[in-house]
Structure 1
Amino acid sequence: MAGRRVTNAAGSSNALRGDVLRVLGVLKVATADQIQRLSSPHLSFRHTLKKTPAQRKEARTAAHRAAANDLRRHGLSVDGGRTRVSARIRTVKASAASGTVLGFLNEAA
């Protein structure tokens, strides 16, 4: 466990980082909410016991935000600014690098 935390400080899994790269490879720019809704739509119905919509969204997108942060630390994505409602926009930094990673992830699946 210690080795994975050093490599991926946010604690994301290979599958989640792959989801983020796949979505960003197609859309080029997306928020964590959009990434979650496209890659894991079945998670949209989780966390319905949270009191406010903001808490539900926070819980639903936490894993994909962590994956995007790990990709940023590895130099594969960058923060592209913020939306009007203050959601952070993610974008792919190097298409060639992410294509290499996506090819590797597709072979492993």
Structure 2
Amino acid sequence: MLSLLVVRDEHYSTEGLHQLRGQIDECDNQLMDLLAKRMRVCREIGTYKKEHNMTIVQTSRYNEILDKRGAQAALCGMSPEFAAQIFEHIHEESVRQQLEILNQK
């Protein structure tokens, strides 16, 4: 395995890397803002479901999201499995927040 390693020049500028990491940080900030917005909408949905005596988890909608986001991920050069993992976690948090609303008296 060590014979496959390529020796790199240790004398290089990290400025380019720093700039790229700054772009990653900005993307991460935007992702968090979008997730916060999504969770606000999920809480509104939770309130709606509570008022209309609906179940929190609706399997057909969940499967629709996974299918659509998987296809979208593939078009964007990412694996559908990666998208599925992300949206499974997002869905779990959405359900958790909606359950909090449902359980409020």
Shorter-chain TM-score tier: 0.3 to 0.5
Please tell me whether Structure 1 or Structure 2 has the larger radius of gyration of its CA atoms. 2
| Superposition TM-score, scaled by structure 2 size | 0.33
| Superposition TM-score, scaled by structure 1 size | 0.33
Q: More strand per residue: 1 or 2?
A: 1
Q: More helix per residue: 1 or 2?
A: 2
